[in-house]
Structure 1
Amino acid sequence: MTSVEDADSLVIPCLQIDPNVELKEVPTTGEEYLLKVMKERQKCVVVTKCNKDISKFAKNQSRFVEEPECTKSAPDALKPTLEWQNIQVADFSEVRMYISRMRAKKSEHKIQEIDIEENHIVSWKQFFEESSPTLSCVFGLKQAYFDNGLEMLTNSLNNIKPGETIGPKTGQWIYAFLACLTLPLLSDTISILRNLARRCAEIRSHIKAEDENAIAAVAPLNVFICLISRYFRQIDLADK
């Protein structure tokens, strides 16, 4: 009889085969098939090694993605508290759940068909300026376009002068795109999100805590840094 300790062992076979089962060239039962598979597996080496010279393929490759250095930290007066960040994540989660429910019912609603060139900067700029980030509009975008759109929005932040912040409409579009991203994220999407968070941190670093509108100016920046780091799990970019 198997003891409790033995039953919890990871080395106990998942499938037991009767010792009387014979090995056949053409299995006719489930146990005969398992026995044949096990015998064939025993003939294989434990570790498979590549016997080809891959140096010529890897010459220009790197195991690591080089990221820009971290931007200097914002003054404590402009950093969000952990409690505030938790509230933003909770609210964002509710928004995403609502969007998920609406997406499941989108056949019942009128959806705008959005036709846009994926990598055409002028087309994206015109789209963001002339359209509003409503669900009917966002649902009209192909999911494959979201990375392009987020990247265009991130690049547009390069035009923000020191001391200024993200405009309301740009902020709405960024939030809408973040809310509509599907999980799990692709590696390219993660890279774009990290660039966005770093850009927001850089913009925030130029805002002085003593400025009259400093708190309002850093609000959207703090939101995006928070969501990317806390909700999308890029924890190393989070405000501590």
Structure 2
Amino acid sequence: MKSDVEDLMPRLLPFEFGDNKEDLDLNGPPRNPQEYLRQVQLEASLCPEVVVAQIDPKKLTKKQTVNVNVPGCQAAPLGFSPSLRWQQQQVSNFSDVRQRITKNRQHWSSQTLDENVQMPKLTDEEGWKRFCLGQRVCIDSSSAHTDAGPELELDYLKVGFPPFLSIVSRLNQSTVLTVLDILISWFEERDFVPQLGHWLYALLACLEKPLIPEAHSSIRQLARRCAQLRSTLESLEDDRLAALNLLICLVARYFEQNDLADQQESTDS
């Protein structure tokens, strides 16, 4: 039987063995390459030709299911979602912005930053919040939605640094995604402010395609949060509406998260 098995094994290593098999000890370490190969061959010949798994039928009676919940966006209140034509125009504009950033990234990243622009370290979450949104928003969220007075417009430490091209062009993909996650997490628990919208748009414009899984998850989270907040708006005149619609549109239409897209509202009465 063993010889039959040995004959069926491919001879990839054509070593010649002697007839003395009694000296081989399968429990001991091989003393040379030939002995090692012979041990492997003999071990294989001792394996049964057919192996039958012993399965307990009782363990097969319970069905195992995996529930995967991938929620979409909350539907907009009637009249609050944008038209398909508007969405297509925003995607076209956004594509143009991305192309300009890519084309001129080297030029803008070489521009000298002002002395007061101190970009936080990658791991400084609170630092990035203050840098993008300003101390005024981070410290006093209750006044975040009010307009800054003229005396504060150029005090970037208080109102946040805008996403200047000279700044965002310096961010690599790891930093873009990290800052995006930080701002989305902040937005999950707070209201929408203009500074947030500016930065989210700029970071999305710097996000490379195809998306890595982490980016895919983050932008979907952003769109769902925008839709959730939009569902609470009471007036079409709310200045947050256009920004929320824009972010949902870009995530769904440009980054091809089609299940999150606003659909054309029916004109039927």
CA contact 2:226–2:248 (8 Å) conserved in 1 = yes
CA contact 1:197–1:228 (8 Å) conserved in 2 = yes
The superposition leaves residues 126-170 of structure 1 with CA deviations (integer Å, 9 ceiling, x where unpaired) of 221232200101122232111111111111112335xxxx21111
Larger Rg: 2
Structure 1 position 237, deviation (Å): 0.4
| CA gap 1:103/1:206 in 2 versus in 1, 3 angstroms | same
Structure 1 position 217, deviation (Å): 2.3
Structure 1 position 71, deviation (Å): 4.6
CA contact 1:197–1:237 (8 Å) conserved in 2 = yes
C-alpha distance in structure 1 between counterparts of 2:168 and 2:76, whole Å: 33
CA contact 1:71–1:205 (8 Å) conserved in 2 = no
Partner of residue 172, structure 2: 142
The superposition leaves residues 37-94 of structure 1 with CA deviations (integer Å, 9 ceiling, x where unpaired) of xxxxxxxxxxxxxxxxxxxxxxxxx988644x34531123100000000010011011
- What letter matches 2:161 in structure 1? S
C-alpha distance in structure 1 between counterparts of 2:94 and 2:218, whole Å: 19
| CA gap 1:104/1:235 in 2 versus in 1, 3 angstroms | same
Partner of residue 4, structure 2: none
| CA gap 1:212/1:87 in 2 versus in 1, 3 angstroms | closer
Moved more, 189-198 or 152-161: 152-161
C-alpha distance in structure 1 between counterparts of 2:72 and 2:210, whole Å: 25
| CA gap 1:104/1:80 in 2 versus in 1, 3 angstroms | same
If asked which structure has higher relative contact order (CA below 8 Å, sep 6+), I would say 2
CA contact 2:163–2:198 (8 Å) conserved in 1 = yes
- What letter matches 2:237 in structure 1? N
C-alpha distance in structure 2 between counterparts of 1:79 and 1:107, whole Å: 37
CA contact 1:92–1:179 (8 Å) conserved in 2 = yes
Q: TM-score, normalised by structure 1?
A: 0.64
The superposition leaves residues 209-238 of structure 1 with CA deviations (integer Å, 9 ceiling, x where unpaired) of xx2633x32110000000010001000100
Structure 1 position 185, deviation (Å): 1.3
Structure 1 position 114, deviation (Å): 6.3
Partner of residue 74, structure 1: 76
C-alpha distance in structure 1 between counterparts of 2:182 and 2:69, whole Å: 21
C-alpha distance in structure 1 between counterparts of 2:107 and 2:219, whole Å: 28
CA contact 1:103–1:139 (8 Å) conserved in 2 = yes
Partner of residue 46, structure 1: none
Partner of residue 181, structure 1: 207
Structure 1 position 103, deviation (Å): 1.0
Partner of residue 132, structure 1: 162
Partner of residue 93, structure 1: 95
1:71-220 matches, cutoff 5 A: 71-106=73-108, 109-110=111-112, 115-128=119-132, 129=134, 130-160=160-190, 166-208=192-234, 211=235, 213-214=237-238, 216-220=239-243
CA contact 2:110–2:166 (8 Å) conserved in 1 = no
Structure 1 position 124, deviation (Å): 1.4
Structure 1 position 200, deviation (Å): 0.5
Q: Does 1:223 align with 2:241?
A: no
CA RMSD in angstroms comes to 2.4
Moved more, 170-179 or 180-189: 180-189
Q: TM-score, normalised by structure 2?
A: 0.58
C-alpha distance in structure 1 between counterparts of 2:219 and 2:68, whole Å: 15
C-alpha distance in structure 1 between counterparts of 2:173 and 2:199, whole Å: 15
CA contact 2:220–2:257 (8 Å) conserved in 1 = yes
| CA gap 1:145/1:190 in 2 versus in 1, 3 angstroms | same
| CA gap 1:64/1:111 in 2 versus in 1, 3 angstroms | farther
Give unmatched runs, 5+ long, in structure 1: 1-61
The alignment covers a number of residue pairs equal to 171
